[in-house]
Amino acid sequence: MLQEIILAGFGGQGVMSMGQLLAYAGLVEGKHVSWIPSYGPEMRGGTANCSVTISDEEVSSPIITEPDTLIVLNRPSLEKFEQDVKPGGRLLINSSLIDIEPKRQDLQVLKIPVTELGREILGNNRVSNMIILGAFVELTRAVSLESVIGALKKVLPEYRHNLIPLNHKALETGIELAKGREFLHFRSCG
């Protein structure tokens, strides 16, 4: 199995850490992984993105030009990357901040208002990225929830482990939203 994922959003939405967590979860499962960030001034206030590869085989090229999955947390990111997604690929959209429809008709689209859900259900919109990551995990099974939690323990310093239950809850919220829903028949839940 080879999963190529691009995650994109505003700097500060947790796009980079979401990507790192995903890569780390793959590593926890003994898979081959890589994570490449966008870097430079665009990170400060502008859009940020990263590429994550999770593979059973050695990763030959970590450069992703045609992702299997695109996760976008803001509108500029959708506009920038939509065209690159592999035909038939997945598109996960934060509908709280993206008020336009994707142009492509050949993608499997899931819209979740994660910014609102984070605020309303969990009282913290800083875990919005975890909700969409949970949905990704449920839909692709690229890594397991347990691996993501295991990765969180490794990525977060000891003194921030008190945040793990909240992140866990956010992941499960995303999983519940995506559960049992076949991508092709499911265009929106938001």
Partner 1 sequence: MAKVLMKGNEALAEAAIRAGCRYFFGYPITPQNEISQYLAKRLPEVGGVFVQAESEIAAINMVYGAAGAGARVMTSSSGPGISLKQEGITYMAGAELPCVIVNIQRGGPGLGGIQPAQSDYFQAVKGGGHGDYRLLVLAPATVQEMVDLMEKAFDLADEYRNPVMILGDGILGQMMEPVEFSEEKETLRLEKPWATTGAKGRNPNIINSLFLDPAELEKHNHHLQQKYDRMRKEVLWENYQTNDAELILVGYGTSARIAKAVVDQARAQGIKAGLFRPISLFPFPKVALQEACKKSERVLTVEMSMGQLVEDIRYNLEFKVPVHLYGRVGGMVPAARAVLEEVKRLVNSGKEGKTHDNSF
Nearer to partner 1, 141 or 154 (CB): 154
The CA distance from 56 to 119, in Å, is 36
Q: Which of 22, 44, 10, 17 is nearest to 142 (CA)?
A: 22
Q: Which of 167, 144, 172 is nearest to 22 (CA)?
A: 144
Q: Which of 100, 79, 82 is nearest to 90 (CA)?
A: 82
Least Cβ distance, residue 20 to partner 1 (angstroms): 7
How many chain residues are in contact with partner 1, going by CB under 8 A? 19
Nearer to partner 1, 61 or 105 (CB): 61
The CA distance from 91 to 140, in Å, is 12
| DSSP 3-state of 72 | strand
Least Cβ distance, residue 96 to partner 1 (angstroms): 28
Least Cβ distance, residue 152 to partner 1 (angstroms): 13
CB-based contacts of 120, cutoff 8 Å, min separation 6: none
b/e sequence 7-35, b meaning 16+ C-beta within 10 Å: bbbbbebbbbbbbbbbbbbbbbbebbbbb
Query: x/- binding map, residues 56-75, to partner 1, per CB under 8 A?
Result: ---xxxxx-xx---------
**Pair of tokens at residue 2:** 């080879």
Least Cβ distance, residue 60 to partner 1 (angstroms): 4
Query: x/- binding map, residues 142-161, to partner 1, per CB under 8 A?
Result: --------------------
Least Cβ distance, residue 61 to partner 1 (angstroms): 4
Residues 36-55 binding partner 1 (CB under 8 A) are 36-37, 39-40
Query: x/- binding map, residues 4-43, to partner 1, per CB under 8 A?
Result: ----------------x--xx--x----xxxxxx-xx---
Q: Which of 125, 143, 123 is nearest to 133 (CA)?
A: 143
Contacting positions for partner 1 (CB under 8 A)? 20, 23-24, 27, 32-37, 39-40, 59-63, 65-66
